[in-house]
Amino acid sequence: MQQKPSRVLVITHPLREDVAELAEKISSALREAGVAASIRSGEVAALREPDAIMVGDDVSSAPADLVLALGGDGTVLRSARLAAEADVPLLGVNFGKVGFLAEAETGELETVVSRLLEGDYTVEERTTIAVEAIGADGRNVSSWAFNDIAVEKAEPARMLELYVEIDGSRISRYGCDGILCASPTGSTAHAMSAGGPVVWPDVDALVVVPMNAHALFAKPMVIHSSSIIRIGVESVGTAGALIADGKRIAELTAGSTVSIRRSDRPVKLVRMSERSFPSRLVSKLSLPVDGWRHGRV
């Protein structure tokens, strides 16, 4: 059991009118129960405003103590950074297709609000990733991701020449489409589609996945979360791109290096369901648990 939240920030999908209407109803219900509630669009620019986490009432404005994200995984990802920076729990309600990061579905909204008001939920911490890129000109860019960090080729017709070091030891050099580093939470996103393993979210690890690598050793790797991953760009005349949770944040030219490690800012996810991770995995991905031989003699 948790304390009943006193200030809730509701973040909506920026292009869904139906979500905006439900957000108004939820906020009204929270206010009637004595909880201050504000609504903010899930657009990146809106979430970067200095007072993005502030919730106002008739008396004052103060930081939220819970973020409620209404949308698909994209909305939850955008909300996650805000929640992590403010060190407050995040609850996702799925209005998208898969909604792997969401805790509840649209039909459960009434129950969600009721349980929030009763403090009937738990909070679990999820590992996140920090990245720093240093360009050939010495300029650096820092960022953060909940799901994954990718170094990818910027030109579809060209391969990117990269090397990978883990904890100071060279692992391999690739001509490839790129390299992904995912958190356990992000292992079921881009990393899985690139051939990486599914990692249970409570495993203390990071995942490294080469993408379409032209090399003898190009296997995905599961490493300890305390490890430091270093990726160097060696391509001359072919640019790479640094991407955090699907957002391009920097161009990488020959001589650029990227350092990736576990962030010291976890995401605190609200949990209301007792469903296990394997059950969620089967449900969200519609896995054929009986296999193709089921029913055959």
From first to last of its 297 residues, what are the pLDDT tens digits of the chain?
A: 688 899 999 999 888 888 888 899 899 999 999 999 999 988 887 888 888 898 987 667 889 999 999 988 889 999 999 999 999 999 998 887 767 788 887 778 888 889 999 999 999 999 999 999 999 888 999 999 999 999 999 888 889 999 999 999 999 999 999 999 999 999 999 999 999 999 999 999 999 999 999 888 899 999 999 999 999 999 888 889 999 999 999 999 999 999 999 999 999 999 988 888 888 888 888 888 887 777 665
Q: Is 292 among the domain residues?
A: no
160 and 114 inside one domain = no
Task: Give Cα 37 to chain centroid, integer Å.
Answer: 24
Tally of structural domains, the chain: 2
Task: Give the whole-angstrom CA distance, residue 19 versus residue 199.
Answer: 31
Judged by DSSP in three states, 106 sits in helix
Q: Is 2 among the domain residues?
A: no
Which of the residues are catalytic? 73
Q: Is 293 among the domain residues?
A: no
Per the structure block, which two tokens stand in for 83? 């929640």
Number of alpha carbons in the 13 Å side-chain half-sphere of residue 76: 27
Q: What are phi and psi of 111, to 5 degrees?
A: -65, -40
Q: What's the CATH number where 271 sits?
A: 3.40.50.10330
Task: Give the whole-angstrom CA distance, residue 242 versus residue 244.
Answer: 7
133 and 71 inside one domain = no
Residue of 271, 17, 267, 284 lying closest to 130 (CA atoms):
267
Q: What's the CATH number where 139 sits?
A: 2.60.200.30
Task: Give Cα 295 to chain centroid, integer Å.
Answer: 39
pLDDT tens for 113-163 read 899 999 999 999 999 999 999 998 889 999 999 999 999 998 888 899 999
Q: Which domain holds residue 178?
A: 129-262
161 and 191 inside one domain = yes
DSSP3 helix / strand / coil % (the chain, rounded to 5): 20, 40, 40
138 and 258 inside one domain = yes
250 and 136 inside one domain = yes
